[in-house]
């Protein structure tokens, strides 16, 4: 059968049937499978990097949300203490008897360090409560009653694994609880897996009877929060009554307010992850585009052949789009699987710096937004990269123009295009400068714009390099290898530019991310030195590197002061406080002990005046 006869179905229809599209793509895979594989690898890498960065960062807030919702259950309001001393437990009775309150449960939370039988330690959130909380959140039927037994402690599965405690060790094993300057040995009453505690099993928590934790923490008759479930339609009236009871000294908020506070604290991390994802997407697109360019000569010739036999433009576009869609979908699915694996390992983010301020989970949470964005972005990148051969479909262009071009078809970059790219790079550079100068908070967005300007500048740098290398080759005729390389580069200009652009963005991203990391470490180092400069030695709770966990200092202060060589002993106080929609770190130093911190951190005002005012009392320094 002749080639023209085989092409009759393509002429007869403006749009092809699905089986014809599948047949044509199968033929392409048999002939050009290696080229399609390279292009698919580029798309998969981009999708994997973007997906891993997005879910690794989103899992912090997502897993914490699972923990919070597992604790609060159907509760919709809470009465929350603002300091480490908590609120009066007698308020629980008043809250329970408010009109519109269906149920209320007490909760005392403390951060402690647990030491397992083998010496392994973990910083966990101790939750002291009674059966009423289990009744509220629906865990009364699954959590074993042994977890609330006097003298015992229930460990989540994650906490038990970090301490080296197995379920078979309960109830014979013991752990050392280091809390508020004291150490207490408690029997492991239960290990709470997902079947018993749901999402709580993935958090670093431990459960104690309320009275036991109050005694160990020295907070008898105190709670940190009261969780409230209101009757239908009574939330507003109950909230008003809670505000009246609190008298402005306690926080009245939604039961899951901690999730919103955590998301606010994660905003800088989200911005950094977004920038990394954008650089990864740009690199992946360039990689895929470069791999697609390997197929451009053959694709353009195939398009010319189809046009010569009368195939409609819409049918050619349909073939190209279908093949790009198949490749993009397959590569993106592979990228999602690889990205998930990366999020569990290489990209797994340490959230330990937030553990003292929030109750965090350890599970990986995959949201619909990262999934759809990564999948859609991979398919879109493939479609854009595949659209290059369609330039031959422009009206007024000869059907077989591709056969009369110099060099490999589809790889020439005209001078007018280079000029446009340089002008575009200049505009992007001006925009970047304006963003940095006028709106420093948009620095990450400006950096992304600068990355695009880098790509647009590559053709000029590439042309300059070719001219310089050409001059060297002309002067030194013996450099035959250089002349061969120049000939090869000029014959495949667009491919060479895509490779150079990929390398440029990779180097740009490496320098930008590496520089940001170095700046962060220098900032932390400078602050740490100034933060600790007021004393030669510090005494704090184990694992409390931010000095936010309180203990009673009087007895320790007297004992330390009697140690030979000690000149003076002063008390330092730190903690976390809700201020608007933020959880802020409060640092309270002794009068006159703020000089180092203020000298290194102050950006407006005089450090001397600030030190004077802080010593007077009634003043604060705000970041």
Convert the pLDDT of each residue in 87-119 to its tens digit.
Answer: 999 999 999 999 999 989 899 999 889 998 888
Peptide bond before residue 171 is cis, with ω within 30 degrees of 0: yes
Q: What's the Rg (C-alpha) of the chain?
A: 33
Q: Are 585 and 620 in contact (CB under 8 A)?
A: no
How many angstroms separate the Cα of 258 from the Cα of each of 235, 251, 255, 462, 618?
19, 12, 8, 52, 29
Nearest-angstrom CA–CA distance, 551 and 540: 8
Side-chain half-sphere CA neighbours of 68 within 13 A: 21
Q: What is the tens place of the pLDDT at every residue in 29-88?
A: 888 788 788 788 888 888 888 888 788 777 777 778 888 887 888 889 999 988 878 899
**H/E segment holding residue 512:** helix 493-531
How many angstroms separate the Cα of 546 from the Cα of each of 123, 317, 585, 593?
13, 61, 9, 17
**CA dihedral sign, ordered 314, 319, 322, 327:** negative
Q: 121-129 and 205-209 as β-strands: parallel, antiparallel, unpaired? A: parallel
Identify any residues that bridge with 208 across adjacent strands, giving them in sequence order: 128
Nearest-angstrom CA–CA distance, 37 and 28: 12
- Through-space distance between the first and last CA atoms of the chain, rounded to whole angstroms: 80
Q: What is the tens place of the pLDDT at every residue in 145-187?
A: 666 777 788 888 888 888 988 877 666 688 999 998 888 999 8
Q: 121-129 and 77-80 as β-strands: parallel, antiparallel, unpaired? A: unpaired
Q: Are 342 and 55 in contact (CB under 8 A)?
A: no
Which of the residues in the chain have pLDDT under 70? 1-13, 134, 136-147, 169-172, 283-294, 346-353, 396, 398-415, 484, 487-495, 592, 594-596
pLDDT at residue 302, as a whole number: 78
**247 conformational bin, left if phi > 0, alpha if psi -120 to 50, beta if neither:** left
Q: Are 155 and 188 in contact (CB under 8 A)?
A: yes
Nearest-angstrom CA–CA distance, 457 and 206: 57
The alpha carbon torsion through 429, 434, 440, 446 (nearest 10 deg) reads -30
Q: Mapping DSSP to helix (H, G, I), strand (E, B) and coil, where does residue 566 land?
A: coil
pLDDT at residue 564, as a whole number: 92
How many angstroms separate the Cα of 14 from the Cα of each of 130, 311, 511, 564?
72, 8, 50, 96
Nearest residue to 200 via CA among 251, 243, 157, 167: 157
Beta-carbon contacts of 290 under 8 Å, excluding residues fewer than 6 positions away, are 42, 495, 498, 499, 502
Beta-carbon contacts of 232 under 8 Å, excluding residues fewer than 6 positions away, are none
Residue listed under structure tokens 């602050």:
527
Nearest-angstrom CA–CA distance, 279 and 451: 8
Beta-carbon contacts of 193 under 8 Å, excluding residues fewer than 6 positions away, are 157, 167, 201
0.75 surpassed by pTM: no
Could you tell me how many residues make up the chain? Answer: 623
């Amino acid at each position: 059968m002749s080639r023209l006869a085989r092409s009759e179905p393509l002429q007869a229809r403006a749009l092809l049937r699905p089986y014809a599209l599948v047949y044509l793509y199968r033929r392409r895979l048999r002939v050009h499978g290696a080229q399609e594989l390279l292009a698919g690898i580029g798309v998969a890498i981009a999708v994997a990097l973007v997906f891993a960065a997005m879910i690794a960062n989103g899992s912090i807030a997502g897993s914490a949300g699972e923990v919070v919702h597992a604790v609060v259950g159907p509760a919709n309001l809470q009465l929350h203490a603002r300091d480490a001393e908590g609120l009066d437990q007698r308020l629980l009775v008043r809250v329970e008897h408010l009109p519109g309150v269906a149920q209320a449960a007490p909760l005392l939370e403390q951060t402690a360090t647990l030491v397992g039988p083998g010496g392994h330690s973990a910083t966990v959130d101790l939750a002291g409560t009674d059966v009423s909380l289990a009744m509220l959140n629906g865990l009364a039927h699954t959590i074993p009653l042994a977890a609330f037994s006097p003298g015992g402690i229930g460990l989540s599965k994650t906490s038990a694994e970090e301490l080296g405690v197995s379920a078979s060790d309960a109830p014979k094993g013991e752990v050392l609880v280091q809390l508020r300057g004291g150490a207490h040995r408690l029997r492991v009453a239960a290990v709470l897996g997902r079947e018993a505690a749901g999402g709580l099993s993935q958090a670093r928590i431990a459960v104690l009877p309320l009275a036991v934790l109050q005694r160990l923490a020295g907070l008898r008759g105190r709670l940190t929060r009261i969780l409230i479930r209101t009757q239908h339609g009574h939330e507003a009236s109950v909230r008003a009554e809670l505000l009246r009871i609190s008298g402005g000294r306690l926080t009245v908020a939604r039961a899951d307010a901690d999730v919103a506070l955590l998301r606010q604290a994660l905003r800088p991390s989200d911005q950094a992850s977004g920038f990394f994802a954008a650089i990864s997407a740009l690199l992946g697109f360039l990689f895929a585009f470069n791999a697609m360019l390997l197929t451009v000569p053959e694709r353009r010739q195939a398009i010319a052949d189809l046009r010569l036999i009368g195939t409609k433009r819409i049918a050619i576009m349909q073939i190209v789009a279908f093949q790009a869609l198949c490749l993009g979908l397959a590569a993106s699915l592979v990228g999602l699987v690889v990205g998930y694996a990366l999020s569990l390992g290489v990209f797994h983010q340490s959230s330990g710096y937030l553990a003292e301020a929030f109750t965090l989970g350890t599970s990986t949470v995959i949201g619909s937004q990262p999934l759809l964005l990564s999948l859609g972005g991979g398919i879109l990148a493939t479609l854009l990269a595949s659209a290059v051969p369609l330039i031959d479909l422009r009206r007024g262009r000869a059907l077989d123009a591709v056969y009369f071009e110099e060099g490999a078809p589809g790889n020439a970059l005209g001078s007018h295009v280079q000029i446009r790219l340089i002008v575009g790079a200049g505009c992007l550079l001006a925009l970047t400068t304006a963003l940095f100068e006028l709106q420093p908070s948009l620095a990450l967005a400006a950096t992304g714009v600068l990355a695009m300007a880098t790509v647009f500048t590559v053709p000029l740098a590439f042309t300059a390099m070719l001219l310089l290398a050409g001059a060297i080759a002309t002067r030194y005729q013996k450099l035959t290898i250089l002349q061969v390389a120049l000939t090869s580069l000029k014959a495949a200009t667009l491919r060479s530019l895509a490779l150079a652009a990929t390398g440029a963005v990779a180097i740009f991203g490496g320098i930008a991310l590496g520089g940001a990391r170095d700046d962060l470490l220098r900032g932390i180092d400078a602050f740490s030195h100034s933060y600790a400069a007021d004393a030669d030695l510090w005494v704090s709770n184990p694992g409390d590197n931010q000095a936010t966990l309180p203990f009673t200092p009087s007895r320790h202060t007297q004992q330390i002061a009697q140690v030979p060589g000690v000149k003076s002993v002063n008390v330092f106080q730190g903690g976390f406080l809700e201020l608007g929609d933020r959880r802020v770190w409060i640092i309270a130093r002794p009068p006159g002990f703020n000089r180092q911190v203020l000298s290194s951190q102050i950006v407006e005002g005089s450090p001397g005046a600030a030190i004077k005012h802080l010593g007077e009392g009634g003043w604060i320094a705000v970041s």
